[in-house]
Structure 1
Amino acid sequence: MTGRQASRLAALLALLLATLLAVGTGGAAPAVAQDVSPADRTAIQGVIQSQVDAFRRDDGADAFGYASPAIRGMFGSPDLFMEMVRQGYRPVYRPQVFDFREIVLLNGEITQKVHVVGPDGRPVTAFYPMTRLPDGTWRINGCHLQTPEEHQV
């Protein structure tokens, strides 16, 4: 990794951390996304599961393809995206447990909650904000991790 890539990765991790802190301290409780159809729930969970499966195979191109255009634009390449995931998102990169929970509205976005136990055995909740593309398909528009202690703040 070049110095420029490392600087870009550090800046992106800082941005994602700031987003995580905003989600963790957002104040208002998330509302259940009741208007999400069963077909959309299945599609959303399928996209997320496919990305996690790609992480497990270390298939950066495939994993990157499940990210929203905004996320792909932030990272620019599958390699940089995968490096960020390896460094900042170990629980979803190599989960022991990956269990879908409810879909909620969080900061105005349809967001899939997932109970995750990472490779270190520690549980986290992963929040996956989703975006629907013009063709009707769903893409992942980020991932925010919260530990159980953060839920009690």
Structure 2
Amino acid sequence: MRRVLLGLFALAALALPVASLPALADDASDARAAIGAQLDAFRTDDGARAYSYAAPNIQRLFPSPDIFVGMVAKAYPAVHRARNVTFGPLKPEGAGLRQEVFLSDSDGQSWIASYTLERQPDGSLKITGCQMRKGTDIGA
């Protein structure tokens, strides 16, 4: 089941529209604000607010806040209950952006969440996908 959910989430990233609005000077602060607010919403169990930061491609795959949050809790537990969040570099990628986020899970394991985001027609920046990989623990 986890592989199916991860596969669906990865497919969503591939289904992004080709065209987007031009990059804005404040992309880095907008990306950090969107991701940080979504992480805060997960932490406070505010599923509707967490869902509001997901781009339309993600919302089509997970058509309600409850379904979306359930998927994140099962497939991305480090994101669902992120600790020690530090933002890394933001890079342009295709029609959008990629933001690296260094975080730890509830057991203290380090992770790198690589978010993709895209500017929406209303000017907001929404999360279009997230890929996780284990980070390097200090002293490991």
Q: TM-score, normalised by structure 2?
A: 0.80
Relative to its length, the structure with more strand (as a share) is: 2
Decide which of 11, 25, 36 is 2:4's aligned counterpart.
11
After TM superposition, give the deviation of residue 17 of structure 1 in Å.
6.2
CA-based RMSD of the aligned residues comes to 2.5
Change (3 A) 1:15 1:85: same
Give runs of aligned pairs for residues 110-129 of structure 1, distance below 5 A.
110-129=97-116
Q: Which residue of 1 aligns with 2:16?
A: none
Please name the residue that 1:31 is paired with.
none
* Structure number with larger C-alpha Rg: 1
Moved over 6 A (4+): 17-20
Does 2:40 align with 1:53?
yes
Q: What are the Cα deviations for residues 87-129 of structure 1, in whole angstroms up to 9, with x where unaligned?
A: 0111111112110011023466411101111111111110110
Contact 1:98–1:114 (Cα < 8 Å) also in 2: yes
Task: Note if contact 1:113-1:128 (Cα within 8 Å) is conserved in structure 2.
Answer: yes
CA contact (8 A) 2:12 2:58 kept: no
Please tell me whether residue 89 in structure 1 is matched to residue 82 in structure 2.
Answer: no
- Residue identity (%): 34
Q: 1:14 offset after TM fit, Å?
A: 3.1
TM-score w.r.t. the length of structure 1 is 0.74
Work out whether residues 13 and 84 of structure 1, in 8 Å CA contact, stay in contact via their aligned partners in 2.
Answer: no
Q: State the shift of 1:133 in Å.
A: 0.4
Pick from 65, 68, 71: which aligns with 2:55? 68
Q: Residue 60 of structure 1: CA displacement?
A: 0.7
Number of residue equivalences: 128
As a proportion of its length, which structure holds more helix? 1
Paired letter, 1:15 = L
Q: Does 1:103 align with 2:90?
A: yes
Q: 3-state DSSP class of the match of 2:108?
A: coil
Q: 3-state SS of the aligned residue for 2:27?
A: helix
Q: Is the 8 A contact 1:104 1:112 kept in 2?
A: yes
Q: In 2, are the aligned partners of 1:19 and 1:144 still within 8 Å (CA)?
A: no
Counterpart secondary structure, 2:82? coil
How many Å separate the matches in 2 of 1:50 and 1:133?
A: 17
Cα distance, 1:19 vs structure 2: 8.3
Q: Where do 5+ consecutive residues of structure 1 fail to align?
A: 1-6, 21-34
Who is 1:40 aligned against? 27
2:109 and 2:12 mapped to 1: Cα distance?
21
Q: Deviations over 1:58-79 (max 9, x none)?
A: 1111100000011001100100
